[in-house]
Each structure stands twice: as structure tokens, then as C-alpha cells.
């Protein structure tokens, strides 16, 4: 029997487990989105976010640390973010 006449059957199984951790920053961003605010990544390097209450360019930039602190003090809303400026 030459190589062309051989058939090989293989059963391939793959299982991928990914652990996704929700950080305090993710929770703060979710709160802002629930309030109807637009949240976009502003700068990946310093983990800052652009938060807008309508409008494409109008808005405020805040870091995750600032957002988590606002959430901790129950001041995580557009007024609290404005106060960071």
C-alpha cells in the first residue's frame, strides 16, 4: 500500500477556557453607559476614557482611577466628571 491509498481519521477536540475578570473600572464604565452616556476609549496607554452626554466631540476625559474614585464616593455621573476639570 503506497501513501496515496492511506486514509487517516483524526478526532480533534479543542476546549478554550477564558477567565474574564470584571474590574472596578469596567463596573464604573457600565454605570456611565446605563445613564445613557457615550463612553469611548480615549488613550489606551494611560487608560483614559472620553465620556459624552450627546454630541460627537463634546465631552470629558477621565482616567479609570478617577472614575473608580467617583463611583466610590457615589458621584459617578456627568456632573461628577465635569467637576474633575
Ordered by start, the domain boundaries in the chain are 22-82
Encode pLDDT of 6-56 as tens digits.
777 777 776 666 656 679 999 999 999 999 999 999 999 999 999 998 876
Following DSSP, what letter does each residue of the chain receive, concatenated? --GGG---------------PPPHHHHHHHHHHHTT-EEEEEETTTTEEEEESSSSS--EEEEHHHHHHHHHTT--SHHHHHTT-
> What's the pLDDT score for residue 19?
59
Residue 24, pLDDT score: 94
* Mean pLDDT value across residues 53-61: 83
Distances (CA, A) of 29 to 1, 37, 77: 64, 9, 10
Which residue from 36, 24, 30, 38 is spatially nearest to 72, judged by alpha carbons?
A: 24
Amino acid at each position: 500500500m503506497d501513501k496515496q491509498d492511506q486514509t487517516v481519521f483524526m478526532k480533534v477536540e479543542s476546549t478554550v477556557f477564558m477567565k474574564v475578570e470584571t474590574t472596578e473600572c469596567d463596573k464604573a464604565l457600565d454605570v456611565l453607559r446605563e445613564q445613557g452616556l457615550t463612553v469611548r476609549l480615549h488613550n489606551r496607554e494611560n487608560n483614559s476614557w472620553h465620556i459624552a452626554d450627546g454630541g460627537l466631540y463634546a465631552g470629558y476625559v477621565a482616567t479609570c482611577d478617577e472614575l473608580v474614585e467617583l463611583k466610590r464616593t457615589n458621584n459617578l455621573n456627568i456632573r461628577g466628571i465635569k467637576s474633575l476639570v
